[in-house]
Amino acid sequence: MTQTDNHTISENKSRPLIPELKSLACDLLGRMFIPQKRFFAFRLKRKQNSDVLEGTSRRYTATVLIGLANENDDITRPIFGETDKFEICDKLISEISETDEMSEPGEIALTLWAARVNEHQKSERVLKKLIAIKPTFGNYWRTVELSWALSALSVNSSQPTDATLADNIARRLLNSFNTESHLFPHWPVGSTSQFLRKHVLCFADIVYPIQALSFYSKTFSNPRALEVANLCAKRMCQLQGQNGQWFWHYDVRTSKVIEKYPVYSVHQDSMAPMALIALKQAGGEDFSHAIEKSLDWLIEPPEPISNPIIDKKEKIIWRKVYRREPGKFVRAVNAIFSRLHPDIRLPAADIFFKPNKIDYESRPYHMGWILSAWQGQ
């Protein structure tokens, strides 16, 4: 019952970072767990030199359970205290079972994924819920959520799955794949989206389909899924920044970067690595060099920021590097400009809207993905 086998990157400056990331992830999860609610907070945010927990999140709790699926009690006990991951998974399943059929498809997909990799005996309840909300139809399923559903059905587990549903979801994803840009749209085929942003996809729309189709190909022996995942991964690595950055928004028509910032730490240390590792383990190409560059950015980001992303003193990994701009001005303008013409961008954006700010917050799903990406290290 493993999502990933051992993965070793070459001997370089980023290799010693992996155990440090895992240690920080476990420590932060202990700080973000709310025992009385048996859920993780939505986020930990720095406010006036103190850390404050805000809200709770079922989605993030499910992601943490995915990351902790193969960790023993020595790792999980300091996080959960008197509770254990099976009790938390049980509560997630119970709450998902009580929700309205049309609510939060992402929560349902991630909860099924968590239940199956943790070998929870009630996982079939969530599977029935997933079947009932029809992920192969409708406008409310985005590419990311479809990918989570496919991963949930395809990961290695003794718990029930639905091969027909997995085939249908994979087919919808494969039919959404742009054969010219080698990227996936934010909204899959059969969906409607805003005209001015129809061409815009984010980095999550790249990594989660790669991961899901890799899992699916390996479990259900589908060579077309592996081929598409490999093509998308190759394009993703071609678009990687010179200093290892994974940029934020892309044009599904041309694959060109629409807007580079924010650069998220979760993309660098876990989401990109876990997708590329899953691809390699399914029989795809080895993109270890891109993973190394991805981790290198965390160690030496070239952006003119005043503090490190990995704050060893505070034992925290900050969320992102972003522009000094009013609201999301550059993203909005570049989305409109690129809609009018695929080559037009806001001139001198990096000069007038410098990417020199750090978002001083951390979210549990980031820590869950770190543990998921680097299992066995």
Would you state the pLDDT for residue 8? 47
Q: Which domain holds residue 282?
A: 17-373
Residue 5 is predicted with a pLDDT of 43
pLDDT of the residue at 12: 58
Instruction: Write the DSSP assignment of 82-143 as a string of letters.
Output: TS-HHHHHHHHHHHHHHS-TTS-HHHHHHHHHHHHHTT-TTHHHHHHHHHHT-TTSSSS--H
Examine residue 8 and state whether it is found in any structural domain, yes or no. no
For residue 141, is it left (φ>0), alpha (ψ between -120 and 50) or beta? Answer: beta
Greatest Cα pair distance, the chain, in angstroms, is: 57
Instruction: Kindly list the distances between the CA atom of residue 331 and the CA atoms of 181, 260, 323, 326, in Å, as whole numbers in the listed order.
Output: 20, 9, 10, 11
Q: What is the mean pLDDT of each run of 10 residues along the chain (377 residues)?
A: 43 76 96 95 93 96 97 92 92 82 81 97 95 83 96 97 97 97 93 79 98 98 98 98 97 97 98 98 97 95 95 94 94 93 92 96 98 88
CA neighbor of 78 nearest in space, from 119, 35, 44: 35
Answer whether residue 1 is part of any domain.
no
Place of tokens 């592996």: 226
**Does residue 124 fall inside a structural domain?**
yes
Q: What is the pLDDT of residue 99?
A: 65
300 in Cβ contact with 321 (< 8 Å): no
Asked, for residue 11, whether it belongs to a domain, the answer is: no
Give the whole-angstrom CA distance, residue 361 versus residue 265. 11
The verdict on residue 297 lying in a domain is: yes
Look at residue 308 and tell me if it is in a domain.
Answer: yes
Question: Whose CA is closest to 214, among 274, 160, 256, 262?
Answer: 274
2 in any annotated domain: no
Q: For the CA atoms of the chain, what is the radius of gyration?
A: 20
Please list the residues that pair with 201 across neighbouring strands.
250
Q: Is the CB of residue 58 less than 8 Å from the CB of residue 373?
A: no
Q: What is the pLDDT of residue 135?
A: 86
Q: What is the pLDDT of residue 324?
A: 93
Element (H, E) at 263: strand 263-264
Q: Using an 8 Å Cβ cutoff, are 106 and 38 in contact? A: no
Domain CATH code at residue 208:
1.50.10.10
- As beta bridge partners, residue 200 has 251
CA-wise closest residue to 186 among 176, 201, 175: 201
Q: What is the pTM of this model?
A: 0.94
Predicted local confidence at residue 138, as pLDDT: 73
Q: How many structural domains are present in the chain?
A: 1
Identify the bridge partners of residue 52 per DSSP, sorted by sequence position. 45
Look at residue 301 in the predicted model and tell me its pLDDT: 94
| CB-CB contact of 118 with 89 (8 Å) | yes
- Asked whether the beta carbons of 334 and 258 are under 8 A apart, the reply is yes
**Eight-state DSSP code of residue 262:** P
The answer as to whether 161 is a domain residue is yes
